[in-house]
Amino acid sequence: MTDFIHRFEPATSAGSPPLLLLHGTGGDENDLLGLGKMISSGSALLSPRGRVLEHGMPRFFRRLSEGVFDEDDVRKRAHELGDFVAETRKRYGIAAPVAVGFSNGANIAAALLLLRPDALAGAILLRAMVPLSGPPKAELGGKPVLLLSGQADPIVPASNSAQLAALLSEAGASVEHKVLPAGHQLSQADVTLARGWIGSIAAEAA
């Protein structure tokens, strides 16, 4: 059993995809529940807390310094999260979720797409970076991915988010990458774009 401290809220609408909410550094399982409801009001919400502590702040994997990841830990933690998703899907009776990750949560979601493609139905990656310098050859088979980057993001260089978009596209994902006039923090534009994107993939699946 690979359990995470987590929150689960059941779906209130049959046509809305379940969401896997993955917080940023220092967040917890409550952080993105409001965002999840804003972008897809009827979805089941599964929101785990990262199991790594950095100066007391929860994260989903270790880093060596800002923007430099412990890649062995990224791989280990992505597999733990993939196992958790598989187990909780059975427990709660939900379909493969769409990940909604912010910052560190977006980075583990990108790693999950590359290492455990079957775990997710797609992903919204908010301020994500390339999680692995030598990623495995993944087959993403048209999985939809929305990557939203900040033009003035002091943490994620524009070249890095562009590289991530290319990496996921080459692995077969259907990637939509938008660069917003924002920094690392989320803006109303992120919410609006994510809501429209979720609505369009739910309509395609219907």
Region of 80 on the Ramachandran plot (φ > 0 left; ψ -120 to 50 alpha; else beta)? alpha
Cβ 48 vs Cβ 5: under 8 Å: yes
Please pick, among 6, 79, 177, 184, the residue that the annotation labels catalytic: 184
Instruction: State yes or no: is 103 an active-site residue.
Output: yes
DSSP 13: S
Please pick, among 40, 43, 153, 190, the residue that the annotation labels catalytic: 153
Dist. CA 10–CA 191, nearest whole Å: 21
Region of 193 on the Ramachandran plot (φ > 0 left; ψ -120 to 50 alpha; else beta)? alpha
| Tokens representing residue 158 in the block | 């524009």
Contact residues for 123 (Cβ-Cβ < 8 A; gap 6+): 98, 99, 100, 101, 106, 109, 110, 112, 113, 143, 145, 146
Closest CA to 178 of 52, 81, 191: 191
Please pick, among 103, 149, 161, 190, the residue that the annotation labels catalytic: 103
Residues that are catalytic: 103, 153, 184
